[in-house]
Chains A and B, each alone.
Chain A
Amino acid sequence: MKKGLIIIPAFLLMFIAFGLSSAQAHVFFQCPCLDDPAATGVVKAHGNIECSVGGQSIACKHMTAGDGFATTADGSETYIFGFHDVTNLYPPNGVYATKDEADAIVSTDGLLAAETSAPTINVQENQDFYLTLSIVPMVIRPDLFDPHTVHFHGYPNASAIFDGEPMSSISTNQGASLTYYYNLTGRPGTYMYHCHVEASEHMQMGMLGNLFVRAADDTTAYNTADTGFDVEYPIQVISFDPKFHQADQDIQPLPFAEMLDVYPMFNGRGYPDTINPNDLPPPQQKIDGRASIETISPTQSSQKVPSRITATAGQTILLRLSSLATVDIYTITAGGLPLQIVGKDARIYKGQSNPAGTPLFQTVNSVNIGGGESFDLLIDTTGIAPGTYFLYTSNLNELANNLQEFGGMMTEIVIAP
């Protein structure tokens, strides 16, 4: 008995010491713009922290991944998983004066803070991109210890370590951070990103976002005159199955085979929320949930990405269209406005994807888009009568918000005189 009494405390001490020394997860935003004394021109731009180090342009972004709620256009609230942008917490001109202070607050700021569509990633091909993902606990599903990742969908000549597909790589546990690195040189185009952990579930649950790489000449899509534009809009096709989301919230078996998307959306909103230029108000369950846990930061909107498209007559609009729908293939049309396909899957749509190749450009009234595809579409508004036009799915049964008629996957294109 005496031996036993001695051994147990010793074992406990070892356990505690081990726990404190090496197993401490922590939030760690790796950003040369903030870490490197040689960084110059540090600014917030395009939702990033941007700077130059030794002549190399750099962009950094920090997001959390966790759960939350969203509001569908019929007023229902639905449980989601998602990403949340915390870059604004950091200097320069951030909520907090220092990186350490901001790092310390990220894990509470991210609680129940999921956004859908995820924060739009807008970077440029001359930048080195450092994307930090910090994982927060799932407040509504504390039984889920799910890690999360970012899959930069379409990044060419990828490495396994930064691919985010968890069977081939690493994924980050709750409480910890991983910084992904992407060299973007020569890789302009319209991509997308999503979590790839248990992808069928996490993507249906909303861990989806726009990601585009602006060309070095960012008045063009691909550094060619024939891909020039005046205004650009990322539009992502997303759909939700409320029964699936409810099953996830209620800790029920997940109905993959019976998945039926009845909330067809652009950028995480159904019409008419798509044309609201502002953040949607946060859902009540999110407000209540965050009030019941110790979050220091204010509760933000879950749906910050509008899809109302505006231009002045004569301008050329670049639609950066992507789909991360998990069930269906959709057809997208702009009604009377012709769409010119100039890019496909983040490559110029020319023979051999060569800017000097034979143009495969097509002017169409609609495009079919399956999950994981992207198109760069130009709308030349020269000679178009000013007014309001619509971008919508010509799968007309999808123009609904579940039981509410005439909504869904539709938004406005407003041509001003």
Chain B
Amino acid sequence: MNNTLIKAYQTAVVLSLLLLVPLVAGAYDIPGITGTPGSPVFNLTTGTGTVVTGEGNQVHMWLFGVAGGTVQYTGPTLIVNEGDTVTINLTNNLPVPVSLVIPGMNVTAAVAAGPGPALPGILTKEVPADNGATTVAYTFTATQPGTYLYHSGTNPSLEVEMGLLGALIVRPAGYDAVTNRIAYNDPASTYTHENLFLLTDIDVRFHNAVENGNLTNIDFADYRREYWFINGRNLPDTLAAQNTPLLPFQPYNAIARLNPGQTILYRMIGAGRDGHPFHTHGNHHLNIGSQGQLMGAGASLAWNAFTTAVYPGDTFDALMTWTGQGIGWDVYGHASDIDNPPLGFSTGGAPGPEDFDNNGNGVYDQCNDANNLAQPGEDPAAHCVPLPVIMPNIQDLTFGMFYSGSPFLGAFGALPPGEGGFNANAGFFFMQHSHSERELTNFNIFPGGMATFLIVEPPSAPVQ
């Protein structure tokens, strides 16, 4: 592994973690744009932008954005409510016609302003390349809650590759941001937090050809992927702050965080050329919906997966949680001292650097101590069970940047100088990534690509 690169990553990530700001008390949502309830209107436009990849390359893109604002990769996430009559007014600042299709929605298109006319197009009416003069309105009724993809329907093999795509979220009629956080009109779809994983991939050679005005020489049969994205960013930028000025055309990150027992709704969308088997470390996820359909009343047909293959055009709504149940040892480290002998060992040792003093009283914690009551939701069978294995010497290990230094949730431990340090609350970090492992690179540089992390934060660090 390239250590210089890792250090650069670490700096970037520490900056970004410092910038994490709680949004709404108690829960976080997918960032996006909303409109007037009942009849939201989104004024979108297109333009060129430059995407910065995880290893620092710059890629020429064609992108959607809010009119008057900055275009972005991926496009603005549109958030509407079930039953809304949605209007998207699209103007075009690209050298080619563009349009909008939303698989799953019955969309009508008509010129709303400007000289027109709309180009007839094949999939839908198109906005001509006239520097924003003509506005075409795309209108539909959001009949079915769920997760959707929108993208250009004009020469999509090129234009979607170039970045003209985004996510649409339709909230169910019974949804309330505070009191009833549901994905579908069913209590079985209730969640605490919400994350989008919009999965894309590109071949940078096409983008270079477009930038050089060499459109006629693009051969889609000869393709090769070098970059894989979640919400328009590669690892490690998936962990950087939202709207960081370092990534002016990539406002969305992909950090998932929860406290034990909470549930995150993952909205996964396949929007690349390849399918991506998306693997969740830490736990299975429960696929409760797909393509805007709940899997049975009460999600009775939902199924657990540790990897969901998200093919192009697929959307999945999955519930992700983590409780630590059944792990077989006390993940909160209530057990007295991991140098006390586990089963089968006659002698323990002095407290080591991995032991901790929970209440700061100078005494290594004992499990019968009143300060070491079980956490709410903790596995009672595991409470006070010591870590069952003896850890190697610190010199025999390599430490990850997100390792707290301790096996226990919420506990820090001593680490060699320069190791760890990017785990502010001593949480458990679990990679969420494409399991086509080649896709964990940024143009031949490992690590990178289609990966982010779920952070299980200890109860002492409430996730908001």
Could you list which residues of chain A lie within 8 angstroms of chain B, going by C-beta atoms? 22-25, 28, 30, 32, 35-36, 38-39, 53-54, 128, 130, 147, 151, 153-154, 156-161, 163, 165-173, 175-183, 185-187, 198-201, 203-204, 253-259, 325-329, 344-347, 349-353, 357-358, 360, 368-374
Contacts and interface: CB of A to CB of B under 8 A. Distances in A.
A166 B420 CA distance: 11
A368 to B, nearest CB: 7
Contacts of A371: 277, 279, 307, 435-437
Contacts of B431: 165, 167-168
B343 A32 contact: yes
Q: How many interface residues does chain B have, given as a range?
A: 35 or more
B396 A176 contact: yes
Contacts of A36: 343-345
A329 B436 contact: yes
Interface in B236-283: 274-277, 279, 281-283
A350 B295 CA distance: 12
A32 B344 contact: yes
Given A154-B306, A158-B283, A371-B435, A199 B440 contact: yes
A88 B431 CA distance: 34
Nearest to A151: B281
A154 B399 CA distance: 22
Given A168-B453, A352-B286, A370-B435, A256 B446 contact: yes
Interface stretch (B154-162, B208-216, B322-330): B322-330
Given A176-B392, A347-B284, A168 B429 contact: yes
B301 A351 contact: yes
A9 to B, nearest CB: 24
A351 B300 CA distance: 5
Nearest to A23: B395
Contacts of A259: 438
A357 B399 CA distance: 42
B392 A347 contact: no
A254 B282 contact: no
Given A167-B400, A173-B397, A371-B435, A53 B344 contact: yes
A9 B98 CA distance: 76
B393 A25 contact: yes
A30 B390 contact: yes
Interface string B318-345: 0000111111110100000000000111
A243 B306 CA distance: 31
Nearest to A325: B436
Nearest to B404: A160
A349 B281 CA distance: 20
Contacts of B402: 160, 167-168
Q: Which of A32, A169, A173, A357 counts the most chain B CB atoms within 10 A?
A: A169
B390 A179 contact: yes
26 contacts: A23-B395, A130-B389, A153-B279, A160-B403, A161-B387, A163-B282, A167-B400, A170-B403, A171-B400, A172-B398, A176-B392, A178-B396, A179-B389, A198-B447, A200-B438, A256-B438, A257-B443, A345-B307, A347-B284, A351-B296, A351-B299, A352-B299, A368-B309, A370-B277, A372-B279, A373-B305
Given A28-B390, A257-B443, A352-B300, 20 more contacts: A22-B395, A25-B393, A25-B395, A32-B344, A156-B283, A156-B326, A157-B324, A157-B327, A168-B429, A169-B400, A172-B397, A172-B398, A178-B389, A200-B438, A200-B439, A200-B447, A255-B444, A325-B436, A346-B284, A353-B286
B67 interface: no
Contacts of A32: 343-344
Contacts of A24: 393
A329 B309 contact: yes
